[in-house]
A = this chain, B = another copy of it.
């Protein structure tokens, strides 16, 4: 029972890395088999088909990492302006896993699979909504604690910030250099201070 779980996880992790770099469509099942050294029989024992594996990657690899890297950091600081800026700054400049050239894994998936694959769209939407929800809470908390003006609309601000994050990662892909992130981050700071 133990070893089987290990190979399943191995497939998911390696496949995620491949897909993050090459995209879902262009990563063939055979590619995954080659890099994992897993045979086709094993692969299709664990997954009904390629798409089921794709969904599993989102649920079992990306979702947990979303919570660790995108959600918990928001909840660990009292000042939401600081929390949000630190989070985005860390995601763009410090996070060793998220590479500039390859963009945001969730956004990549979204662009590639939406709207023609509704299963993917739904699971990805859940991911986005989760981040959105927590950021709204963070801002509302900040309003109560007087870090942020009362007339600020938390959901509006959240959508604005998350959109900006996704978009700047698109820029990063194009220019393949973290340097585009810097002016963006400066302006994000200005914007966040305009909310105080």
* A114-158 CB contacts (< 8 Å) to partner B: 114-116, 121, 124-125, 128, 153, 155-157
Instruction: Determine if B171 and A128 form an interchain contact, defined as CB atoms under 8 angstroms apart.
Output: yes
A22-B116 contact given A156-B187, A163-B163, A167-B166, CB 8 Å threshold: yes
Partner of A25, one of B23, B110, B128, B187: B23
Among A5-13, A61-69, A77-85, A175-183, the one that faces the other chain is A175-183
Alpha-carbon distance A102/B116, docked complex (angstroms): 9
Given contacts A107-B111, A167-B164, contact A128 B174 (CB under 8 A): yes
Report if A174-B124 is in contact (Cβ < 8 Å); known contacts: A187-B156, A194-B194. Answer: yes
Interface positions, chain A 1-51, Cβ under 8 Å from B, are 21-23, 25-26
Q: How far is the CA of A111 from the CA of B110 in the complex (A)?
A: 9
Q: Are A153 and B186 in contact (CB under 8 A)?
A: yes
Task: From the candidates B121, B173, B194, name the one contacting A111 in the complex (CB within 8 A).
Answer: B173
Does B188 lie within 8 Å of A160, measured CB to CB? yes
This chain: copies in complex:
2
Partner of A163 from B101, B128, B159, B184 at Cβ < 8 Å: B184
| Chain A: number of interface residues, binned into ranges | 35 or more
Looking at the assembled complex, report how far the CB atom of A46 sits from the nearest CB atom of chain B, in whole angstroms.
25
Q: Which one, B125, B167, B184, B190, contacts A175 given CB within 8 A?
A: B125
A168 within 8 A of B: yes
Cβ-defined partner of A171 (8 Å) among B108, B153, B157, B159: B159
How long is the Cα–Cα vector from A194 to B191 in the complex, in angstroms?
8
- A115-B176, A121-B176, A191-B194 known; 16 new pairs, CB 8 Å cut-off, are A21-B116, A25-B25, A101-B115, A111-B112, A125-B175, A156-B190, A159-B180, A160-B184, A160-B191, A162-B167, A163-B165, A163-B166, A163-B167, A163-B168, A164-B167, A191-B191
